[in-house]
Structure 1
Amino acid sequence: MIIRIMGEGQYRAPEALCDELNQIDNKIVALVAEGNAEEFRTELVKLISEIKEKGEAIGAEEILESDIIVPPEDLSFEEAKAIFTGAGIIED
């Protein structure tokens, strides 16, 4: 699976990582629904860190279509309300 972190580039993620990311994504959806901005920020940073640490960075010269687009760490809580709804950014 190809994941783009907005403003930071693309990463190739193995299936096992996708399952882990889906769990974090689901938690973010719940936190946004609860209005918990502080924990939302912590989990968003965790999501992005996991992608960077466990995914394989794709060079800028390689152009691939992204399966998932992850918002940047500085996403506001108000913006998150429009993005992290329903199944979130990673569908089961």
Structure 2
Amino acid sequence: MIVRIMGEGQVRLEESRLPELDKLDEELLAEMDNGDGPGFRTTLQALLDKVHELGEPLPDDSLEPSDLILPSPDATLEEVRDLLTDDGLIPGT
């Protein structure tokens, strides 16, 4: 699957790796619900780092349809809320 990180580019990630992102996604949702700005920022960065760790970056000149769009590391709580589904940022996990 192709994951786009807004403002950064795209990463190819095996769909089987999504459950590894689930714990961070759940933490992020809890921090957003609690209004924990510093925790939100730390967990968002950890989630994006994990995507980079597990995935393979696509070349900058490659433009594939994205299966999943994640916010940029500097996204605000409000911007991330706009991207949420009922399952969080990582649907179906």
Given the two structures, how large is their TM-score scaled by the length of structure 2?
Answer: 0.85
Question: How far did residue 60 of structure 1 move?
Answer: 2.3
Does 2:50 correspond to 1:46? no
More displaced stretch, 11-20 vs 45-54? 11-20
Report if the CA contact (8 A) 1:5-1:71 is conserved: yes
Partner of 1:79: 79
Question: How far did residue 20 of structure 1 move?
Answer: 1.2
For 1:5 and 1:17, the matched residues in 2 are separated by: 16
Partner of 1:91: 91
| Unaligned stretches of 5+ residues in structure 1 | none
| Unaligned stretches of 5+ residues in structure 2 | none
For 2:73 and 2:36, the matched residues in 1 are separated by: 16
For 1:85 and 1:33, the matched residues in 2 are separated by: 14
Report if the CA contact (8 A) 2:85-2:91 is conserved: no
More displaced stretch, 25-34 vs 4-13? 25-34
State the AA in 2 paired with 1:9.
G
Q: How many residues are aligned here?
A: 92
Partner of 1:15: 15
Identity score, percent = 37
Q: Deviations over 1:32-78 (max 9, x none)?
A: 01111111111100011111122101112322110111111111123
Given the two structures, how large is their TM-score scaled by the length of structure 1?
Answer: 0.86
For 1:19 and 1:84, the matched residues in 2 are separated by: 17
Question: How far did residue 10 of structure 1 move?
Answer: 0.3
